Structure 1
C-alpha cells in the first residue's frame, strides 16, 4: 500500500513540476538570490542543458544533507549577469554568509566569506576544477568543487532552506523534484530523520542559549551598575562635548546589549551582545581618563580573567591547569594579584562539576568569549584549555558557529545582508579552462571571461 501511494504521490509531484510550477528565467541577479535563499542550487532554464533536473536535485540533496552554507548557480552568459560584478552582487543580494559557486556559460568561478572558507582555499579549489585534463562539463565541475567545499566550509545551512515559498508564492521545481524523488525512494523515513535531527539541533541550541543567557544577563547587570555608579552629569562644570559623546556611547552600548540579548535566537547571536559591552566599557575608560586629565587609554582587549573588570592594562604570563604558558591581557588589579603570587579573580560559570572558570566550561561559552576578545585573538588565549579544545572541533563549528568566529560577528549560514568583505568576491575570472592560477579566492587578479 505504501509503495503504491508513494508512486502516486511521486507522479503527481512530477506532473506538478512539469505543468504548474516552471522555473522562470532570472531577469537579474536578484532573482537568482531569491532562489538561493530557498535552496542551495539554482539552474536558469536557459542554462538547463548544462545541468539536468536530476543532476541539480542530486547536487542540492548533497549540500542539504551536509548542512553547509554552499550555494550553486548555473547561469547563461547573458547581459543581466555581468562577470565583473556577478559574484559580489550575488553575495550582496542573497545576504547569507557562505560559499558561492557560479557556472556562467562554459566558465566557472567561486568566492566565499573568509569566515566560512579561507581565501586561498577557495582559490585552490577553483584552480583544481579548471586544471588541464579535468572534465569541463558543468555536472562534473560543480560536483568536484562542492565535494571539497563541503569538507572545508565552516558554519551551517541557513534556516531559510528548511522551508518557505519563493517570491512568486510557488515552490521551486527543484524542491518539488527533490520531494518526489525522496518519496519514490521510500524517503518518508529519511524525511522523519531529517526533521528529528533538526529538532535535536534546535533543542541543543536552545539549551546552550539558556546557559549563555544567565551569564550575559549578569554581564549586562554589572555594566548597568557601573553606569549607575558613574558620577558624571553632562551639564556638570568641566564637561565638554567630547566627554558627553563618550558618555552617550557608553549609554548606547548598554541599550544595544539589552536589545541584542532580547532578540538572540541562537548561541552565536550572543557574540554581538558582548561586543557591545566591551565597546561600552572602553568608552567609560576613555571618559574617566578625560575627566581626570590622564592620557587616553589605548584600545586593548578586556581583562582575560573576567571581562567585567574592563579594558586590560598589560599582558602577563599565565599557565592554565595542564597547559603551557602564554601571555594574556589583564586588568591592573589582576596583574597585581599575580605578581603577589595570588590567583586572579576569574569569571566562573556553572558546569557539571560546579562553578568553574569559563575557560574550563563547555562550547556554549565560545560566542560569549568571542565577542569580548575577537576571532583572531581568542584561539591563542585559550589553546590547551577545555574551551579552547572545543572551539577547534568540527562539532563546535557546525553547532555553535566556531572556526575563526566570523567577520563582523557573522558565521556561515548567517544572514548578514551587505555586511561582508567585498574583496572576497571581487574579480571576474570565469575562464572555462586553466588560467595559470589566477582564479578563485578573493578574485583580486585579472582574468577574462
Structure 2
C-alpha cells in the first residue's frame, strides 16, 4: 500500500510538471490539421478543431468527453471542418496512424459523419449498424455524436488509453484538464486517492454480486445444452454418417467443453460473453447436423431466439413490442413465431430479480454480458431499446462496470494496425457518408 501511495504521488507530481510545461508554450495556439487533431486525441477523447468550433460548443464537447471517460472506453471523437486541411481520402487511416491508439474513431467532417474501429474493439458490422442508426439528415453535431456515443459505449471493448489520464476535453490543447489536475494536486491528492480506492472496492463488490447472478443463468444454459447433446440420436459411426456430419457433431461437443472450461475460469462479468458465444456456436452446429441428416438445405447462420436463446437459432423474425416500448423486429424460433401469430405470449427466458422471476430484458444490468454473447455484432442495443436492460446498456455506468476490459482497446500500437480496417473515406454532405462505396461499406477499420 505504501508503494502504491508513493507511485500515485509521483504520477501526480509528474503531471503537475507537465501542466507547467504545456501551458507556457501552447496557450492561445490555434491547432489545425490531422497531426494536431491526433496530438489532441492522445490527451483526451474529444477534439474540436478551431475551424469547426461552431459545430460543437465547448460545454457540449466537455460533456461528451466526460461521458466517454466515465465509461473508460477507447472512443475518440473529432469534429473537423470540411476544408483542405482535412481531405476525406484516407482521413481515418491517417488519423489512426498519427494517433496510434487502438479504438473506435468517430469523425464529424463538416455536416457529414462516419466512424471506423480496430476489429479488436468493435466489428465492422457493429460500427456500420451504429453509424446507420444515428445518421440523420440535418442532425446537429451534438445530437448525432451523443447518440453515437450512447449506443457505442455499451458494446465497445477495451479500456481508455492511459495517456488520457484525468485530462478534460481537448479542443486543441489539454489546458483545461491540466489546470484541473493541478488544482487537485494542490488541494488534496491524498483525498482523491481515497475516493478512487473506495470506488474501486465498491465496483469490485458489485461485480462479484453480478457474477454470482450470472453463474446461475449460465450454468442453466450449459446444462440445457448438455442435455440436448445427450438426447441427440447420432453416432459418428452410424450408417449414413459422413465426414461433414461428424464435423458438425465434433464442433458441437467442442463448444460444450469450451463453454464449461470458460465458465470455470470466469472472474468478471464481461467474460461471460465468451461462454454464451460458445453455446450459440454449438447450437448452430447441431442445427446444421440436423439439416444434413434430413437432407434439407443448410440453415442460414442466424442469432438465437430472442425470447430464450436455449430455443436455438431463430427460424424467422416477428414484430414484438415490450411493455411501454416501441415495436421492433426480433429473431424468433418456430414455436415462438407460431405463438405470436396466434396472439399468445412467447415462452420467455426468466431470471431471478429482487422482485421475483422476470424476463431477462426486465432484469438488471448483470445480464447484459450474458445476452451480449448470444446477440453480438452490435444488434443487442437495437433489440433491447426501450426495455429496462436496454436502458441500462445505453449508460456509461454499464459500459464501465460490465462492458469488459480484456481487449486491446486503448493500447498505444502506433502504426501497427491493419490499414484495411480503416479504408478510404468519401464524406458526403448532409450526414451521408458511405454513398457510392465510401468507407469500404462503412464500419470496420
**Which SS does the other structure have where 2:188 is aligned?**
coil
Structure 1 position 69 matched with structure 2 position 71: no
Give 1:23's aligned residue. Answer: none
Instruction: Flag structure 1 segments of 5+ consecutive residues without an equivalent.
Output: 1-5, 19-35, 42-58, 73-82, 101-109, 129-147, 164-176, 403-408, 430-434
Q: CA deviation at 1:340?
A: 4.6
The answer on whether the counterparts of 1:313 and 1:332 sit within 8 Å (CA) in structure 2 is yes
The answer on whether the counterparts of 1:366 and 1:391 sit within 8 Å (CA) in structure 2 is yes
Structure 1 67/150 Cα, relative in aligned 2: closer, same or farther at 3 Å?
Answer: farther
110-119 vs 240-249, which deviates more?
A: 110-119
CA-atom RMSD, angstroms? Answer: 5.8
The answer on whether the counterparts of 1:99 and 1:117 sit within 8 Å (CA) in structure 2 is no
Structure 1 116/265 Cα, relative in aligned 2: closer, same or farther at 3 Å?
Answer: farther
Q: How does 1:159-178 map to 2 (within 5 A)?
A: none
Instruction: Flag structure 2 segments of 5+ consecutive residues without an equivalent.
Output: 1-7, 21-40, 46-61, 78-90, 108-113, 118-125, 164-178, 440-445
Give 1:291's aligned residue. Answer: 293
CA–CA distance in 2 between the matches of 1:318 and 1:65? 33
Give 1:330's aligned residue. Answer: 332
Q: CA deviation at 1:254?
A: 1.7
Structure 1 position 255 matched with structure 2 position 260: no
CA–CA distance in 2 between the matches of 1:289 and 1:115? 33
Give 2:235's aligned residue. Answer: 233
**Which SS does the other structure have where 1:316 is aligned?**
strand
What count of residue pairs does the alignment treat as equivalent? 363
Structure 1 308/421 Cα, relative in aligned 2: closer, same or farther at 3 Å?
Answer: farther
CA–CA distance in 2 between the matches of 1:250 and 1:401? 28
CA–CA distance in 2 between the matches of 1:304 and 1:257? 20
Give 1:312's aligned residue. Answer: 314
Structure 1 383/86 Cα, relative in aligned 2: closer, same or farther at 3 Å?
Answer: closer
290-299 vs 311-320, which deviates more?
A: 311-320
Give 2:353's aligned residue. Answer: 351
The answer on whether the counterparts of 2:368 and 2:393 sit within 8 Å (CA) in structure 1 is yes
Give 2:208's aligned residue. Answer: 206
Q: CA deviation at 1:353?
A: 0.9
CA–CA distance in 2 between the matches of 1:14 and 1:84? 33
CA–CA distance in 1 between the matches of 2:319 and 2:71? 42
CA–CA distance in 2 between the matches of 1:179 and 1:236? 70
Structure 1 289/178 Cα, relative in aligned 2: closer, same or farther at 3 Å?
Answer: same
Q: How does 1:108-127 map to 2 (within 5 A)?
A: 113=117
Q: How does 1:1-400 map to 2 (within 5 A)?
A: 67-69=72-74, 88=96, 113=117, 153=149, 155=153, 182-400=184-402
**How does the TM-score come out when normalised to structure 2?**
0.59
Post-superposition Cα deviations, 1:186-224, rounded to whole Å, max 9, x if no partner, equal: 221112112222332333233222222221121112112
Post-superposition Cα deviations, 1:203-255, rounded to whole Å, max 9, x if no partner, equal: 32332222222211211121122112222222222111111111122122223
Structure 1 255/436 Cα, relative in aligned 2: closer, same or farther at 3 Å?
Answer: closer
Larger CA Rg, structure 1 vs 2: 1
CA–CA distance in 2 between the matches of 1:65 and 1:379? 20
